[in-house]
Amino acid sequence: MQNYVLNGNKDTSVEDFQIRDNLISTLKERFKTYGYKQVRTSTFEYYDLYSTITGTVSQDDMMKVVDSSGKVLVLRPDVTIPITRMISANRGTLPADLRLFYVLDVFRQNQEPSDRKETTQAGVEFFGKDTPENNAETIVLAIHTMRDLGFTNFKLEIGHAGLFKELIKQTSINEQELEQLQALIQSKNMAEMNPFLDQLSIEEDVKSAIRSIPLLYGNPADIIRQAEAIIQNTEMKNLLKSLVDVYEVLKDYGEEDALVFNLGLINNMNYYSGIIFQGFVEHVGKPLLMGGRYDNLGEQFSSPMPAIGFAFEVDDLLEAHDQEKLWKEKNAPLSILLEYDRDMQRQGFKLAFQLRKNGWQVLTYPSDHTASQQTPADCIVHYRGDELQLEAGGKVTTFNDTDELTGTLSEMGRDDEWHV
């Protein structure tokens, strides 16, 4: 697991890992409520798995190793592809609608900052038909999860990979020209895109439509109306309708306020075939999640099957949490320091076991142990002779038995002000 660097200027701390673990737990619990089951794939994959699949990670970005037999392996640069291969190989024994999630590290050469070659992704893959309901449910899961993480000022941008691809079919531009054009659209660099298009041999109405793509961003109803003006054929008309159908379902979920349409959204993973989306938090300059529909990927494993998914970049989520000041752990377990006289050690250990059964964090020390004096905790329990004392909030309370103590601790555990 990678070192997490907060704000780029300090080493990993224990607190960082606790926050990271809680964040991942939040993601996993929300995924489960939508019926997803956790899976994992191998850290090492054969190079051929990625080199023979079109639309995947650039070969230059892969981290390669050679095993003892001389075969070239890569450290997993992507999770969707090996999961799709796994499902393709077992498709006959699996249900028609299959929901899977993962929390796995991926390895690439081109990560930012430059020394971050290992990142953690938490994502879902829904192997099911391309319907407005399935697509909308996946998008709503992304929205629901963003709220679970504490973000309130976020937007999900929705586009459609097929619209741009269908426009490009009306041209004869080569791969290099296409890459340049995609980069210009992604950056919304109109100053360079216009002269770039002028030098290409493309019909004027198609050029005009391509020029419009980066500008089609904003309120879904407005963008749908503007997009109708660039429709070139029946296929594009049908693709736009499929996007409208998803939006209508999202309105029934009551989530239209969290959405914007961005028809200039072009994902680097070219295996996306239909609806695509990404999530942004205000004042954070990069997407925290990206996803879309990839109905054609299974065909490359000789097993056609529609699918949609998305992934969060966990390390980017952590940075966004820090920037948004969302670190407070409202449901953190109560931390208790239990000090006991040495002749009460057996009883002290028994009490600690009882307290841990309630899910509380309990550290035990003999009362004469100096380390206990520097140990942070929400409260201190003193076990001296037959006397039980609770030190918390600047006052000391004496109890007759452990049941009374446990009852008071339970009340504290429900009160956020006790948590450090």
As a whole number of angstroms, the distance between CA 366 and CA 169 comes to 76
- What pLDDT shows up at residue 2? 45
Q: What average pLDDT does the chain have?
A: 86
| Domain co-membership, 226 together with 367 | no
Shared domain for 372 and 317, answered yes or no, is: no
What pLDDT, on the 0 to 100 scale, is given for residue 168? Answer: 87
Q: Give the domain-ending residue among 289, 323, 357.
A: 323
Q: Are residues 107 and 215 in the same domain?
A: yes
Q: What one-character-per-residue DSSP string does 151-211 give?
A: --SEEEEEEEHHHHHHHHHTS---HHHHHHHHHHHHTT-HHHHHHHHHTS---HHHHHHHH
Which structural domain range is residue 40 located in?
A: 14-323
The side-by-side arrangement of strands in the sheet containing 335-340 is: 361-366, 335-340, 379-384, 387-392, 395-399
pTM metric for this prediction = 0.81
Task: Indicate the SS3 state at residue 260.
Answer: strand
The answer to the question of residue 72 being in a domain is yes
Indicate if 20 and 104 belong to the same structural domain.
yes
The predicted structure's pLDDT at residue 3: 45
Which domain-ending residue is among 301, 323, 345?
323
Residue with tokens 């996946």: 138
Residue 94's pLDDT is what?
A: 75
Note whether residue 107 is domain-resident.
yes
Bond from prior residue into 113 cis (ω within 30 degrees of 0): yes
Domain with residue 176: its CATH number is 3.30.930.10
Helix (H, G, I), strand (E, B) or coil at 118: strand
For residue 6, tell me if it sits in a domain: no
Q: Is residue 81 part of a domain?
A: yes
Task: Please indicate, yes or no, if residue 215 is contained in any of the structural domains.
Answer: yes
Query: pLDDT (tens digit, 9 = 90+) per residue, 160-211?
Result: 988 888 888 888 888 888 888 888 888 888 899 989 998 888 888 988 999 9
- Do residues 180 and 304 both lie within one domain? yes
Query: Which pLDDT score, from 0 to 100, does residue 55 have?
Result: 65
How many separate domains does the chain show?
2
Do 194 and 139 share a structural domain?
A: yes
Quickly tell me which residue has 């140990």 as its tokens. 375
Same domain, 85 and 144: yes
Q: Is 144 exposed, middle or buried (0-12, 13-18, 19+ CB in 10 A)?
A: middle
Say yes or no: 386 and 289 in one domain: no
Q: Assess whether 90 and 239 both reside in one domain.
A: yes
146 within domain boundaries: yes
Residues of the chain with pLDDT under 50: 1-11, 329-330, 416-420
Q: Identify the pLDDT of residue 269.
A: 55
Handedness of CA 49, 44, 77, 109 (dihedral sign): negative
Residue 273 falls inside a structural domain: yes
Position 173: which residue type? I
Please give the C-alpha separations between residue 261 and each of 16, 214, 247, 280, in angstroms, as whole numbers. 35, 11, 10, 13
> Which pLDDT value is given to residue 331?
57
Please report the pLDDT score of residue 90 as a whole number: 83
Question: In angstroms, how far is CA 193 from the centroid of its own chain?
Answer: 32
Residue type, 277: F
- Has residue 4 been placed in a domain? no
Do 339 and 312 share a structural domain? no
Residues 156 and 210 in one domain: yes
Mind listing the pLDDT tens digit for each residue in 31-65?
Answer: 999 999 999 999 998 888 877 777 667 777 888 88
153 Cβ contact partners less than 8 Å away, ≥ 6 residues apart: 281, 282, 283, 324
**For residue 344, what is the domain's CATH number?**
3.40.50.800
Q: Do β-strands 98-107 and 37-38 pair in parallel, antiparallel, or remain unpaired?
A: parallel
Running DSSP on this structure, what letter comes out for residue 96? S
* 212 shares a domain with 261: yes
What tokens were used for 396?
């000391």
- Of 273, 301, 323, the residue at which a domain comes to its end is 323
